[in-house]
Amino acid sequence: MYFYGTTGVNNIGHLEIGGIDTLELAKNFGTPLYVYDTALIRERARSFKKAFEEQQVRAQVAYASKAFSTIAMVQLAEEEGLSLDVVSGGELYTAMAAGFPTERIHFHGNNKSKEELEMALEHKIGCIVIDNFYEIELLKTICQEKTTKVNVLLRVTPGIEAHTHDYILTGQEDSKFGFDLQNGQVEAALTEVLSSEYFNVLGIHCHIGSQIFETTGFLLAAQKIVEKLAEWKETLSFEAKVLNLGGGFGIRYTKEDEPIPPAQYVSEIIKEVKQLVEQFSLTMPEIWIEPGRSLVGDAGITLYKIGSAKDVPEVRKYLAVDGGMSDNIRPALYQAKYEAVLANKPLAVSTQTVSIAGKCCESGDMLIWDLPLPEIEEDDLLAVFCTGAYGYSMANNYNRIPRPAVVFVENGIATLVVKRETYEDLIQLDLPLK
Ligand SMILES: Cc1ncc(COP(=O)(O)O)c(C=O)c1O
């Protein structure tokens, strides 16, 4: 039996996380319930940071808050000395409500509105990652109106798509994000921002994909960008102070996944960049990264109460839980795979294969296909592992299902950090016809 993150079995045979019995958590906070072991989040944050410190490379490790954005999580990121990546006014607002130092906030997004950019400038956030020509003009106008100057990075698409073990080199990237590195777009953008009095151009950003288990894609991206930096030093007299290589470091969702430790990604990236800047006689830039799931993914589990069952003879057995695509849309959205156990008897021998369905009125609302489990009894509780990233942050109210509560556990102490939504919350913004 493999237990994910920091889960294990306690002396009465129940699944525990962060030193707390999951049955106790379900009893005290209800189900479905997201539970995070914050000690693991801290450990991951520290290992990313330490890897840079050990090699004395100036760096920022920015938590990609899209993975899981709440006030408590942002405060945890602050406690660990991380920077923060936000992609919307809402994520920025959350960061500010959490008291996050605005100079360590990086603002992403392919369609930031005027209001969002104004908000970012008013709060003097660390930098804006410019995504397209429209944004250059918009940001210029806002800076002009506010007679201010802003730090910017340019997001480029380096023509590398990385996903798990595959990476694809594409001549021109078909992506909604960023300036194409190959077809002259990025040079045009760079010329534009460098010539403007409103921008302090810090450097270049790219994000090549997600759930990546090898360093090859990152190294290739670094190579392509640094080659361009060498060219731009000559042609545009531009030297980047920052090279941001994005997030996407893989985690173990199932036994098939074999991630490498955070320190390994970082040390190989550093080695490559150092070698490249030496080769092209450039100044070593600061290296920024933006991990999301690798900080919070396997620190989170979701607890569900098991309800109805349906047997389709000779085909499959469905078991339904009290949540589903409303709290974890990833299986429906990208066929994401998860593993799970019965929290009240995680070591019981599996005697059957079942498929875990959600309670939403949608055939596609399936959480796990073909999961080996023991016989099911009244009050059994299902614990789905590694739901910490893009679970709560993608949660929705389909079928007007209230979103679950979120609890942080650490060293035997459980803290409620997001309340369970109520039916009153659900209709809070509705207005009557008359
Ligand atoms: C620009 C950018 N940075 C960082 C991330 C975080 O990726 P991950 O959670 O896979 O680390 C994403 C994810 O979509 C992203 O788009």
> Average pLDDT over the chain, rounded to whole?
95
Of 295, 252, 301, nearest to 68 by C-alpha is 295
Q: How far does residue 85's CA lie from ligand 1's centre (Å)? A: 9
Q: How far is the CA of 209 from the centre of ligand 1 (A)?
A: 7
Specify the range with the lowest mean pLDDT, choosing from 85-94, 209-218, 319-328, 365-374: 209-218
pLDDT confidence of 168, banded at 50, 70, 90?
A: low
> Do 108 and 86 touch, CB atoms closer than 8 A?
yes
351, exposed or middle or buried, with CB in 10 Å at 0-12, 13-18, 19+? exposed
Residue 205 has φ and ψ, to the nearest 5°, of -125, 145
Tell me how far apart the alpha carbons of residues 143 and 28 are, in angstroms, rounded to a whole number.
50
Give the helix/strand (H/E) hosting 264.
helix 262-279
Location of structure tokens 């607002």: 93
Residue 205 has pLDDT above 60, yes or no: yes
The answer to whether 361 is a known catalytic residue is yes
Q: Which amino acid is at 253?
A: Y
Structure confidence at residue 2 (pLDDT) = 75
Phi first, then psi: give them for residue 174, nearest 5 degrees. Answer: -90, 80
* SS3 at position 61: strand
Q: Which residues of 126-163 are buried (b: 16+ CB within 10 A; e: fewer)?
A: bbbbbbbeebbebbbebbeeeeeebbbbbbbbbbbbbb
pTM, whole model, 2 decimals?
0.97
| Closest residue to atom 1 of ligand 1, CA basis | 207
Q: Which of 127, 143, 206, 361 is catalytic?
A: 361
Confidence bin at 167 (pLDDT 50/70/90): low
Measure the CA dihedral 406/407/408/413, to 10°: 170
Residue with tokens 């994909």: 209
Are 41 and 76 in contact, with CB atoms under 8 Å apart? yes
CA of 304 to the centre of ligand 1 (A): 27
Structure-block tokens of residue 423? 């039916």
Q: Give me the sheet containing 209-212, strands edge to edge.
A: 166-169, 160-164, 209-212
Determine the atom of ligand 1 nearest the C-alpha atom of 250.
Answer: 10
Q: Is the CB of 322 under 6 A from ligand 1?
A: no
Alpha helices in 4-64 (DSSP H): 22-29, 38-54
Q: Which of 44, 48, 66 has most ligand 1 atoms within 8 Å of CB, for mutation?
A: 66
Region 252-269: what's the mean pLDDT? 94
Nearest CA to ligand 1 atom 16: 207
pLDDT band per the 50, 70, 90 thresholds, residue 175? confident
Instruction: Report how far ligand 1's centroid is from the alpha carbon of 360 (Å).
Output: 28
pLDDT in tens, 343-378: 999 999 999 999 999 999 999 999 999 999 999 999
pLDDT at 226: 98
Query: What percent of the chain clears pLDDT 90, i.e. is strictly above it?
Result: 93
Q: Tokens 């525990």 correspond to what residue?
A: 16
Phi-psi domain of 326 (left: phi exceeds 0; alpha: psi -120 through 50; beta: other): alpha
Amino acid code (one letter) for 170: T
pLDDT at 23: 98
Asked whether the beta carbons of 219 and 273 are under 8 A apart, the reply is no
